[in-house]
Amino acid sequence: MSFHLNNITIENILPMIQEVASQYLTRENSRNITVKGDSNFVTEVDMQIEKAMKERLLSLYPDTQFMGEEKDNSDVDFTTPVWILDPVDGTSNLIHDFQNSSMSLALAIDKKIVFGIIYHYSTKEYFWAKKGQGAYVGTTPINVSDTTELSRSLVSFGTSPYDKATLGEKNCQTLKQIFFTCEDIRRIGSAAIELAYVAAGRVDIYLERNLKPWDFAAAIIIIEEAGGIITDYNGQAIDISKPSDILAGNKMIHEKLRHTIPL
């Protein structure tokens, strides 16, 4: 199929994800673990799902490129359409059988995300959006929350677990500040699920330092199409080709929290 945005449909993408998940997401594969870094692991599930998605996406859409967490991406050229995949977001959860892991898949054209889907492997919910067409969980439209006060806001907080040495102290200060300012804090352990929950209005805001493009790419369009805002901690637009701090929420809480957190 030659590349055209009209051919990027949930009907084409969802069955691919469901089929790959049912084939490779097994307890046996998730027990086959390799250490990548500090608190950072990869399992056979991550590797097999990435390989299977890459094969299927490039065979259905031959004029596209593929960027994935578990491969070398130095040759990726953003002047042509690029798929951006995190095969398992929440690998620690998968290893511990904590039932909160997801696939995050986005399509970038000219460095702008035009399609994104976050698939929750345990609940089978899928949060998705296409440019200009709204955001959905399954077939139901979603919107960010309408909370206006920080004291009434539920904040999902990402701990940057692989950067404890450099960001740990700073993150603890931020966490303390938020805890005493907001209603309460949540931590699921999959940035993509937490960002999807912002889009669905289940939490008011999510923040985490030093996320990678595959953690946040799909969420950019899902949150924007759900009426929210996603920026770095300074309120600046995100460059999807680089790691970035991420602050994503409804517009009122985003504006208020941005001026509260220590940078």
| Site residues, ligand IPD (CB under 6 A) | 86, 89-91, 158-161, 189-191, 208, 211, 215
Helices (H), the chain: 10-24, 27-30, 44-60, 91-96, 164-181, 191-199, 213-225, 251-258
CB of 189 to ligand IPD, least distance (A): 5
Q: Closest CB to ligand IPD belongs to which residue?
A: 191
Nearer to ligand IPD, 215 or 224 (CB): 215
Cα-Cα-Cα-Cα torsion 223, 217, 36, 33, nearest 10 degrees, comes to 70
Which CB sits closer to ligand IPD, 167 or 200?
Answer: 167
- Distance in angstroms (rounded) separating the CA atoms of residues 39 and 238: 26
- Using alpha carbons, list the distances in angstroms from residue 87 to 20, 48, 78, 248: 10, 9, 20, 22
Cβ of residue 91: shortest distance to ligand IPD, in angstroms? 4
* Closer Cβ to Ca ion, 17 or 88, answer by number: 88
The label of the residue with tokens 């996603």 reads 230
Cα–Cα distances in angstroms (integers) from residue 138 to residues 103, 201, 215, in the given order = 15, 15, 21
| Residue 159 binding result from ligand IPD, Ca ion, none, given CB thresholds of 5 to 8 Å by partner type | ligand IPD
Q: In angstroms, rounded to a whole number, what is the distance separating the alpha carbons of residues 251 and 227?
A: 8
Residue 90 binds: one of Ca ion, ligand IPD, none (C-beta under 5 to 8 A by kind): ligand IPD
Q: How far is the CB of 9 from ligand IPD (least distance, A)?
A: 26
Q: For binding to Ca ion (CB under 5 A), which residues are involved? A: 69, 86, 88-89, 215
Q: Which does 190 bind (CB under 5 to 8 A by kind): ligand IPD, Ca ion, none?
A: ligand IPD
